[in-house]
């Protein structure tokens, strides 16, 4: 039994292999780009607004509100990155309703790539916001003794992000595969429905956690330790 | 006995133990988290949006421990790295 779409090779030419992971990632990217390009090429501000534009506006404003609630003062700065993460993972997971589709997020390569994007984005956003010195000082934040633990947590939370998304999506696929051989027709459909819910929640959680990491590293607090009362409630969950 | 057989036996046993022991903690923790969140929503229905969002995020973080165990169990059963090693050692 296969536990990842990596082992499904669609096309083989000399040393180059096109695995299902890459192909379905391209499919998701094409869908996202085409749909958003089609909608945004016909934006209007007049009396009549197309229903697709309304859908896009709802998605963008919802993501922006969620970013603001997590604790970023300036949501527009983070909207492209966080929104892309959410939309990509959500589309990749929700397309499992299409027969023959294997979610690319069910491969550790894809989720590791996404988690590494977050790992790189955290210092980038923080340096743009607070400068190199301000960013490096976050590693010494409670006290300089915490430096090794802060470094470890930086790596371990990246691993956690990758394995969490991979494990959730892969477990859905594997359980459906096992149930098809045990109790066909009915139970796999129920598990697929549950998988849709899990996929959407995982996309939300991945985006929220990325935002929490970025916000906790780039919160403006020049030079001194901040008041504990101003912490948002989500900052407590950062130390996974 | 064939070393591959031993590896398979021990892997399956360990995979079962991994899931069994590894899901106790997250199950208790998720129950506690959900109960606390329900209590908080009952006391403060206005804050239910914030509580629900935080609950989902915390549930995912708690659940990730169980997911790690699941991934380890899956690797032990379907992608055990030591099976190849034993085949090489006996065959080569």
DSSP-H helix ranges across B1-92: 3-22, 24-43, 48-78, 81-91
Name every chain B residue with its beta carbon within 8 A of the beta carbon of A209: 57, 60
Q: Where are the beta strands (DSSP E) in chain A?
A: 9-13, 16-19
How far is Cα A29 from Cα A89, in angstroms, rounded to an integer?
Answer: 11
Residue B24 lies in a domain: no
- Contact (CB<8Å) B58/A237: yes
- Contact (CB<8Å) B57/A208: yes
Q: Which residues contact B21 (CB under 8 A, 6 or more apart)?
A: B69
Q: Indicate whether B7 pLDDT > 70.
A: yes
Is residue B14 classed exposed, middle or buried when 0-12, 13-18 and 19+ CB atoms within 10 A define those classes?
A: middle
**Full residue range of the structural domain in which residue B51 is found:** 3-18+31-82
Name every chain A residue with its beta carbon within 8 A of the beta carbon of B57: 205, 208-209, 212, 234, 237
Q: Which CATH number does the domain housing residue B36 bear?
A: 1.20.20.10
Residue B73 lies in a domain: yes
Q: How far is CA A163 from CA A110, A157, A167, A186, A206, in A?
A: 11, 10, 6, 29, 11
Band (B12; pLDDT cuts 50, 70, 90): very high
A168: closest CA of chain B, how far (Å)? 7
Q: In the prediction, which pLDDT does B22 show?
A: 92
And the tokens for A205? Answer: 């959680």
A201 touches chain B (CB under 8 A): yes
**Which of B51, B55, B57, B77 to substitute to test the interface with A, most A CBs within 10 Å?**
B57
- Contact (CB<8Å) B67/A201: no
3-state secondary structure of A103: coil
Residue B41 lies in a domain: yes
B2: closest CA of chain A, how far (Å)? 23
- Contact (CB<8Å) B67/A164: yes
Which contiguous run of DSSP H or E holds residue A56? helix A51-70
> Shortest CB distance from B64 goes to which of A164, A174, A208?
A164
How far is Cα A56 from Cα A60, in angstroms, rounded to an integer?
Answer: 6
How far is Cα A153 from Cα A133, in angstroms, rounded to an integer?
Answer: 20
Beta bridge partners of A17: A12
Q: β-pairing, A16-19 with A9-13?
A: antiparallel
Indicate the DSSP class of residue A18: E
Query: How many alpha carbons fall within 13 Å on the CB side of residue B72?
Result: 17
How far is Cα A4 from Cα A109, in angstroms, rounded to an integer?
Answer: 10
Residue B92 lies in a domain: no
3-state secondary structure of A54: helix
Q: Are B72 and B18 in contact (CB under 8 A)?
A: yes
Sign of the CA dihedral B22, B25, B29, B31? positive
Tell me the residues of B at the A interface, defined by beta carbons under 8 Å apart.
Answer: 50, 53-54, 56-58, 60-61, 63-64, 67-68, 70-71, 74, 78-79
Residue B87 lies in a domain: no
- Contact (CB<8Å) A163/B68: yes
Q: Which residues contact B42 (CB under 8 A, 6 or more apart)?
A: none
Domain count of the fold of chain B: 1
Q: Are A50 and A44 in contact (CB under 8 A)?
A: yes
A227 touches chain B (CB under 8 A): no
Indicate the DSSP class of residue B79: S
Is residue A228 classed exposed, middle or buried when 0-12, 13-18 and 19+ CB atoms within 10 A define those classes?
A: exposed
Residue B77 lies in a domain: yes
- Closest residue in chain A to residue B72, using alpha carbons only: A167
A168 touches chain B (CB under 8 A): yes
Q: Are B80 and B14 in contact (CB under 8 A)?
A: no
Q: In the prediction, which pLDDT does A81 show?
A: 92
- Contact (CB<8Å) B67/A171: yes
Q: How far is CA A184 from CA A181, A189, A193, in A?
A: 6, 9, 15
Q: Are A212 and A121 in contact (CB under 8 A)?
A: no
How far is Cα A60 from Cα A43, in angstroms, rounded to an integer?
Answer: 14
Q: How many interface pairs between A and B have CB atoms less than 8 angstroms apart? A: 50
ipTM of the predicted structure? 0.72
Per-residue model confidence as pLDDT tens for chain A (240 residues) = 566 777 777 777 777 888 888 889 999 999 999 999 988 888 888 778 888 888 899 999 999 988 888 776 788 888 999 999 999 999 999 998 888 888 899 888 899 999 999 999 999 998 988 888 888 888 887 788 888 888 888 888 898 889 889 988 888 888 888 888 888 778 888 888 888 888 898 899 899 889 988 888 877 554 444 444 444 444 444 444
pTM to 2 decimal places: 0.81
Q: In the prediction, which pLDDT does A2 show?
A: 62
Q: In the prediction, which pLDDT does B60 show?
A: 80
């Amino acid at each position: 039994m296969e536990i990842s779409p990596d082992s499904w090779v669609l096309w083989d030419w000399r040393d180059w292999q096109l695995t299902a992971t890459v192909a379905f990632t391209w499919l998701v990217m094409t869908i996202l780009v085409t749909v958003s390009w089609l909608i945004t090429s016909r934006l209007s501000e007049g009396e009549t607004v197309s229903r697709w534009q309304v859908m896009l506006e709802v998605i963008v404003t919802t993501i922006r509100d969620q970013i603001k609630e997590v604790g970023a003062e300036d949501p527009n700065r983070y909207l492209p990155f966080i929104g892309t993460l959410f939309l990509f993972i959500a589309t990749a997971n929700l397309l499992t309703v299409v027969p023959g589709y294997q979610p690319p997020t069910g491969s550790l390569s894809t989720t590791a790539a996404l988690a590494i994007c977050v790992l790189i984005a955290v210092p980038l956003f923080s340096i743009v916001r607070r400068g190199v010195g301000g960013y490096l000082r976050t590693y010494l934040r409670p006290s300089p003794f915490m430096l090794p633990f802060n470094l470890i947590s930086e790596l371990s939370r990246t691993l956690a992000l990758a394995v969490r998304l991979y494990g959730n999506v892969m477990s859905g696929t594997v359980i459906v595969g096992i149930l098809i051989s045990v109790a066909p027709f009915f139970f796999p459909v129920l598990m697929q429905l549950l998988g849709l819910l899990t996929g959407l929640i995982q996309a939300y959680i991945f985006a929220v956690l990325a935002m929490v990491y970025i916000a906790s590293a780039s919160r403006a607090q020049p030079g001194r330790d901040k008041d504990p009362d101003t912490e948002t409630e989500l900052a407590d969950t950062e130390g996974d | 006995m064939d070393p591959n057989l031993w590896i398979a036996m021990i892997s399956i046993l360990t995979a079962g133990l991994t899931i069994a022991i590894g899901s106790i903690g997250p199950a208790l923790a998720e129950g506690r988290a959900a109960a606390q969140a329900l209590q908080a929503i009952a006391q403060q229905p206005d804050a239910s949006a914030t509580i629900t969002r935080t609950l989902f995020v915390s549930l995912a973080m708690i659940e990730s421990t169980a997911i790690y165990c699941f991934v380890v169990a899956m690797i032990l059963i379907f992608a055990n790295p030591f099976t190849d090693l034993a085949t090489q050692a006996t065959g080569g």
